[in-house]
Amino acid sequence: MTGQSPPSSLLEVKGIEVVYDGAILGVADVSLRLGRGEIVALLGANGAGKSTTLKAISGLVVADRALVARGSIHFEGEDIVGIAPNLLAQRGIVHVLEGRHVFGHLTVEENLRTGTFLRRLSRRDTERDLEEIYAWFPRLKTKRRTAAGLTSGGEQQMLAIGRALLTRPHLVLLDEPSMGLAPIIVDEIFEIIAGLNREKGTTFLVAEQNIGVSLRHAHRGYVLDSGKVVLSASAAELRQREDLHEIYLGLASA
C-alpha cells in the first residue's frame, strides 16, 4: 500500500503509462477519479487508449503482455497495480470487455449463472439475484433458455452486463457497450445503466466512442487523445463544448 485516497473516492488513477510487449505505448499519461455512485464516461476515438485504461484498472493488461510502467491506481484506498485480475474481481472490479464476450453454446441463463460463481451463494440467493437481473433486463428473461450465440447483439451486450452485475461489483468497467448496435438498443442499454446507478448506486466507468449517448447518461467525462487525458469536465459542460469533436479526434491544435 502506498497511501490512502480520500474516503469518497472509489478509484483514483494517477499518471499511468501502460506499455505493451515492453515497447509499445498503450497509454502515456492518464489520470482520473471515480466517486462511489458515479457514472463516468471515458471518451476518445479509436486507439486513444480507452480499452488499455480499463484493462490497467481490472488487471487484464497482463493477458495482453502489457504492464503499468508508471503511475498508480488506488481502488478503495489501496494500491492495486500488479494485483491479479481474478483477485481484483473478488474485490469488486468487474470488466465487461469490448465485443460482448458470452459463452455462445450456453443458454442465456447458464451464462448468467457463471456470474454468481465468484460468490458462494445459497440456491435461494442465486435465484433471487437472477430474478433481479431479469427485472432489469426483461429481454433476457424471454430468452433464458436460448443459446446465447443465437441471441441478437443487443441481447448479448445485456447478457454480458447482467452477468457482470451478478458478481455484485463495487465498480463496473464497460468497454464500448454501444459498439455495433442500433441506436434504439444503445438507448435501451444506457437507460438500464442509468437506472441501476440511480436505484442501486452502481458505479460505472464507461469507455465509449459514442459521445452523445454517453454524455446523456454520465455525470462526468474524460476525453482521451493519443493515450493522454486532454479534457475532463462534467457531462453538462462537455455537452456544451462545440469543439468536443475536434478535441476528441485530435484535430484541435492545442
210 C-beta neighbours (distance < 10 Å), count: 19
Shortest gap between Cβ of 136 and ligand ATP (angstroms)? Answer: 26
Residue 11 or 30 having the CB closest to ligand ATP:
30
Best CA proximity match to 181, nearest among 161, 164, 197: 161
**Residue among 64 and 132 whose Cβ is closer to ligand ATP:** 64
Pairwise CA distance, residues 41 & 174, whole Å: 10
| 20 vs 103 by CB, closer to ligand ATP | 20
- Which one-letter DSSP state was computed for residue 80? -
| Binding flags for ligand ATP, 58-97, as an x/- string (CB under 6 A) | ------x---------------------------------
Q: Which is nearer to ligand ATP, 155 or 225 (CB)?
A: 225
Q: Are 66 and 18 in contact (CB under 8 A)?
A: yes
How does DSSP assign 159-190, residue by residue? HHHHHHHTT--SEEEEE-TTTT--HHHHHHHH
Count of residues binding ligand ATP (CB under 6 A)? 13
Q: Which one of the spans 20-28, 72-80, 137-145, 180-188 is the region binding ligand ATP (CB under 6 A)?
A: 20-28
Alpha-carbon torsion, ordered 130, 157, 68, 247, to 10 deg:
-140
The minimum distance between CB 82 and ligand ATP, in angstroms, equals 19
* The residue type at 136: W
Q: How far is the CB of 208 from ligand ATP (least distance, A)?
A: 9
Binding mask 159-198 for ligand ATP (x = CB under 6 A): ----------------------------------------
State the CB neighbour count (10 A cutoff) for residue 10.
Answer: 22
| Least separation in angstroms between CB 24 and ligand ATP | 4
Q: How far is the CB of 52 from ligand ATP (least distance, A)?
A: 3
Q: Among 18-26, 74-82, 165-173, 232-240, which window interacts with ligand ATP (CB under 6 A)?
A: 18-26
Q: Facing residues of 207 across strands?
A: 42, 175
- Here's the x/- map for ligand ATP, 25-64, by CB under 6 A: it reads as -x-----------------x-xxxxxxx-----------x
CB of 18 to ligand ATP, least distance (A): 8
Q: Distance between CA atoms of 222 and 198, rounded to whole angstroms?
A: 21
Residues 6+ positions from 229 with CB-CB distance below 8 Å? 29, 30, 31, 32, 222, 223
List the Cα angle 37/39/43 in 5-degree steps. 155
Considering the complex, what minimum distance in angstroms separates the CB of residue 46 from ligand ATP? 4
Please report, as ranges, the residues that interact with ligand ATP according to CB under 6 A: 20, 24, 26, 44, 46-52, 64, 98
